[in-house]
Amino acid sequence: MFSNDQKSAIEAARAAWTPTRRLVVPALEEAMYEPVSVLDTGFVRLVDYMGGDDGIVQGARVSYGKGTKSTSDDRGLIRYLMRNRHTSPFELAVIKLHVRAPIFVTRQWFRHRTASINEYSARYSVLEKEFYFPRPEDIAVQSASNKQGRGTTLPPEQAQQVLDLLRDDAARCYDHYLDLLNEDAAGGTVDPTRPSIARELARMNLPVNIMTQFYWQINLWNLLHFLRLRADSHAQYEIRAYADAILGLVEKWVPLTFGAFRDYMRDATLLSGPALRVLRAVMAGTPVDPKAEGLSRREITELATLFPEIAPRLNGG
79 flagged as catalytic? no
Looking at the fold, whether 25 and 97 belong to one and the same domain comes out as: yes
Annotated catalytic residue: which of 45, 100, 199, 230? 230
Helix or strand holding residue 116 (H, E): strand 115-119
Measured CA to CA, the distance from residue 221 to residue 108 in angstroms comes to 19
Looking at the fold, whether 250 and 198 belong to one and the same domain comes out as: no
Residue 100 is assigned to a ligand binding site:
no
Domain boundary among 205, 229, 246: 205
From 132, 303, 111, select the one nearest 226 (Cα to Cα): 111
Residue 7 pLDDT class (50, 70, 90 cuts) = confident
Q: What is the pLDDT of residue 69?
A: 61
130 to each of 19, 80, 133, 176, 263, how far by Cα in Å?
38, 45, 10, 15, 38
Measured CA to CA, the distance from residue 65 to residue 23 in angstroms comes to 10
Residue 53 pLDDT class (50, 70, 90 cuts) = very high
Residue 98 is assigned to a ligand binding site:
no
Q: What is the pLDDT of residue 66?
A: 55
Looking at the fold, whether 235 and 288 belong to one and the same domain comes out as: no
For 62-76, 132-146, 264-278, which range has the lowest pLDDT when averaged over its residues?
62-76
Q: What is the pLDDT of residue 316?
A: 60
Quote the domain boundaries for residue 298.
273-314
Percent of the chain past pLDDT 90, that is, above it, reads 72
pLDDT, tens digit, for every residue of 187-240? 999 999 999 999 999 999 999 999 999 999 999 999 999 999 999 988 999 999
Looking at the fold, whether 54 and 178 belong to one and the same domain comes out as: no
Looking at the fold, whether 190 and 61 belong to one and the same domain comes out as: no
Residue 63 is assigned to a ligand binding site:
no
pLDDT, tens digit, for every residue of 56-65? 999 998 854 5
Q: What is the mean pLDDT of the chain?
A: 91
Q: What is the pLDDT of residue 197?
A: 95
Looking at the fold, whether 55 and 73 belong to one and the same domain comes out as: yes
Looking at the fold, whether 187 and 161 belong to one and the same domain comes out as: yes
Residue 230 is assigned to a ligand binding site:
yes
Looking at the fold, whether 166 and 251 belong to one and the same domain comes out as: no
The verdict on residue 130 lying in a domain is: no
144 contacts 87 by C-beta, under 8 angstroms:
no
139 contacts 159 by C-beta, under 8 angstroms:
yes
Looking at the fold, whether 222 and 110 belong to one and the same domain comes out as: yes
Residue 314 pLDDT class (50, 70, 90 cuts) = confident
Residue 121 is assigned to a ligand binding site:
yes
Residue 109 is assigned to a ligand binding site:
yes
The verdict on residue 131 lying in a domain is: no
Q: What is the pLDDT of residue 17?
A: 80
The verdict on residue 99 lying in a domain is: yes
- Look at the chain and report how many structural domains it folds into: 3
Residue 203 is assigned to a ligand binding site:
yes
Looking at the fold, whether 79 and 41 belong to one and the same domain comes out as: yes
User: 237: which strand partners?
Assistant: none
Q: What is the pLDDT of residue 240?
A: 97
pLDDT exceeds 70 at position 68: no
Percent of the chain past pLDDT 70, that is, above it, reads 96
Domain at 30, CATH number: 3.30.1360.170
Residue 221 is assigned to a ligand binding site:
no
Tell me the pTM: 0.90
Looking at the fold, whether 19 and 50 belong to one and the same domain comes out as: yes
Q: What is the pLDDT of residue 150?
A: 85
